[in-house]
Structure 1
């Protein structure tokens, strides 16, 4: 009998940002800002809201799981057979905010998706920082 591995992989990106949590929260939850650093979306920070993230390569089906303004945002991220969860945590620091993103749920056989996320999220973070530097 073959043992099926239930181990799941996660991608974690953490940054110290020189912006208050409220400002970062806006960039994480306002569709016109999300589009600037991530993808086009019809996001609303409302639990159980279904939304889509769209890019040239396709789209991601998502559902909001948790909303704690300026602190925690969690949503599903389903695309190309990947069923994962993205969790954002914001913690105020003396100089701004500690921002942590974890995308969890990659199966061991989903190396391509896992590598893509490992490569992609730091780029999204760089875009996010540019947006934060620009908005009031």
Structure 2
């Protein structure tokens, strides 16, 4: 197996968000808020918890891998042959929070999924920021 065949791609979105990590954490971990910016879900911020994200186009099977409240959240993201990992990292800044999302594990032959994620995550971030602006 050549190195190229095993290399995977990642989608990374970085944003400075003018809210504290605790507020963003709620939007990343409370099912009713996740539904508003991402998809319907049965998420719980508990390691090994299996959950689904459901949309018109189908479902994503996920499992929580790591939880560090207000700091880091990681879960597997499996759909249509894609086996990937989504990791959220929250870093406090003077003006709020640096929020980083990395979805890793796209194979070179999964360009459609990769391009979809590259286009989709900035839209999810925009929706997330709108929810943060109106929830307490």
- TM class by smaller structure: over 0.9
Deviations 1:46-100 (A, max 9, x none): 0000000000000000000000000000000000000000000000000000000
TM-score normalised by length of structure 1: 0.98
Structure 2 gap ranges (5+): none
Residue equivalent to 2:65: 65
Residue equivalent to 2:103: 103
Corresponding residue SS for 2:12:
strand
Equivalent pairs counted in the alignment come to: 135
Between the aligned partners of 2:37 and 2:59, the Cα distance in structure 1 is 15
TM-score normalised by length of structure 2: 0.98
Shift of 1:101: 0.1
Structure 1 runs of 4+ aligned residues shifted over 3 Å read none
With 70-79 and 3-12 compared, the bigger mean Cα shift is at: 3-12
Alignment of 1:76-95 (within 5 A): 76-95=76-95
The alignment's C-alpha RMSD in Å is 0.9
Corresponding residue SS for 1:5:
helix
Alignment of 1:1-136 (within 5 A): 3=2, 5-136=5-136
